[in-house]
Amino acid sequence: MSRWRVQLLGGFGLWRDETVLAHRFETDSARALFAWLCLNAGKPARRDTLAALLWPDKRQAAALSALRTALARIRRALGDADDVVQA
């Protein structure tokens, strides 16, 4: 099993074993969503709630689309992370 390290204060950082992964996150919204998910690990979250939280200025359909995009970016950034990614 991999060893993960996440830094949320003093700048965003993410490491898997000794490999730096933070640069793989393509957008601030993907980083913000990942941070929220880390801070709320193990708690269920509704997609519409997350979309409204992260994109309050968008209509629901657009916010949900942005959420799907951010989730896809997180999955890409994490790579083969079946041991930690659940959706």
- Rounded to whole angstroms, the Cα distance separating 86 from 81 reads 9
Residue 79 has a pLDDT of 84
Tell me: the pLDDT tens digits for 40-61?
Answer: 999 999 999 999 999 999 999 9
Predicted TM-score of the model (pTM): 0.84
The pLDDT of residue 80 is above 80: no
So where are the chain's domains? Answer: 4-78
DSSP 8-state code for residue 82: T
Given a cut of 80, whether residue 84 has pLDDT beyond it is: no
pLDDT of residue 81: 65
Q: What is the pLDDT of residues 6-32, one digit of tens each?
A: 999 999 999 999 889 888 888 999 999
